[in-house]
Structure 1
Amino acid sequence: MAKLLYKPFAIVFGLLGGMIASALFSKIWKAVAHEDDAPDASDEERAWKEILPAVALKGAIAGVIKALIHRGGASGVRGLTGTWPA
């Protein structure tokens, strides 16, 4: 039952996590690369050596934020219900 109740919150938290990860990536990319826009995989003018580090950094940030949010949410559900939602 806890898993069923947790699911809508997990979806909302996942969306919020994506927005947080995107904003954090933008700030880090600007600080590291000294440019406003990160290279996009479909950008014809960018080389692989520019695209791959940006994508790797973005994926790492997104993965960490997702883990933090989902683990925190599951811990919160366990605190409220006494059961782990997974």
Structure 2
Amino acid sequence: MKGSKIVYKPVGLALGAVSGIAAGALFKQSWKVLGHDEDTPDATDEERSWHEVLLAAALQGAIFAGVKAAVDRAGATAVRRVTGTWPG
């Protein structure tokens, strides 16, 4: 296993936790603006429409994927600066 991969493992785990928290907060704020509602719809919420539930799920997925990609890329770039090689 390359040294950069070993260095990146704990960094990647920590960044994954931070990115999940950040993405969750960003989704909640985005839903407040787009959905005009404090609570995000739950798939089993009888009061919410299919459209609203699926829109929230798609938005949440896009935000989580975007934040994860950005954080993973930034972490890999930082590891390359420290070790001189790209992890992975």
SS in 1 for 2:48: coil
Q: Which piece of structure 1 moves more, 13-22 or 36-45? A: 36-45
| Aligned pairs for 1:5-84 within 5 A | 5-84=7-86
* Counterpart-to-counterpart distance in 1, 2:85 and 2:41: 43
Instruction: Identify unmatched segments of 5+ residues in structure 1.
Output: none
How many residue pairs were aligned? 86
Q: Which amino acid aligns with 1:3?
A: K
* Counterpart-to-counterpart distance in 2, 1:81 and 1:58: 34
- TM superposition shift of 1:50: 1.3
Aligned-pair identity in percent equals: 49
Q: Which amino acid aligns with 1:69?
A: V
Cα-Cα RMSD: 1.0
Relative to the length of structure 2, the TM-score reads: 0.91
For the Cα contact (< 8 Å) 2:7–2:79, is it kept in 1?
Answer: no
Instruction: Identify unmatched segments of 5+ residues in structure 2.
Output: none
* Counterpart-to-counterpart distance in 1, 2:86 and 2:43: 38
